[in-house]
Amino acid sequence: MKEETDNRDTGFIVAVGDPAPDFQIHYQDGNTQSLKSLRGKVVLIQFAASWCKVCQDIMPLMEREFNLRYKSHPDFTLFAVCRGQTPEEVQQFAEKVKVTYPLTLDEDESIFRLYALAKAGVTRNVLIDKDGKIVYLTRLYNEQEFAQLNKTIDSLLQP
């Protein structure tokens, strides 16, 4: 396990080039799947929480810029990991933000702590390539970073 240090003031404990730590994705319908089972796909993980104002503001952008743009591509998947949230809170959050990508559960914050310091802010995205390597990280919202994130996804999805 990585030592909890934050050398870049972002709160991430993973870096570009690292293998993405595996975890069980807990969907609201009760189904689970491992992140590892998504190898062969480009995966965008959004860390969010219902109490996070930035998350609430950014989710419609995530829907428009990433989900609607790429959801028909068979080699792309996007889901949110809702940090420290009960199934009921996640359901209410999903209804409030009206996104169509899955909002998954991380009630004990163990998934979040695989990627970031326990005390770090929640709003962050992790892009994983088809080989399971982290290729891009974002924290909060930065227009230039999101433009680069789109370009990176485009290049990863090229045949």
In three-state form (DSSP H/G/I as H, E/B as E, the rest C), the secondary structure along the chain is CCCCCCCCCCCECCCCCCECCCCEEECCCCCEEEHHHHCCCEEEEEEECCCCHHHHHHHHHHHHHHHHHHCCCCCEEEEEEEECCCHHHHHHHHHHHCCCCCEEEECCCCCHHHHECCCCCCCEEEEECCCCEEEEEEECCCHHHHHHHHHHHHHHCCC
State the pLDDT confidence band at 8, using cuts at 50, 70 and 90.
Answer: low
111 domain residue, yes or no? yes
96 domain residue, yes or no? yes
Higher pLDDT, 62 or 1: 62
Q: Which domain holds residue 79?
A: 40-142
Q: What is the pTM of this model?
A: 0.91
85 domain residue, yes or no? yes
Contact indicator for 59, 97 with CB cutoff of 8 Å: yes
Interval 38-86: pLDDT, tens: 999 999 999 999 999 999 999 999 999 999 999 999 999 999 999 999 9
25 domain residue, yes or no? no
- Would you state the pLDDT for residue 90? 92
Task: Tell whether the model's pLDDT for residue 6 goes beyond 50.
Answer: no
Q: What is the CATH number of the domain that holds 116?
A: 3.40.30.10
| Number of structural domains the chain divides into | 1
32 domain residue, yes or no? no
- Would you state the pLDDT for residue 142? 81
45 domain residue, yes or no? yes
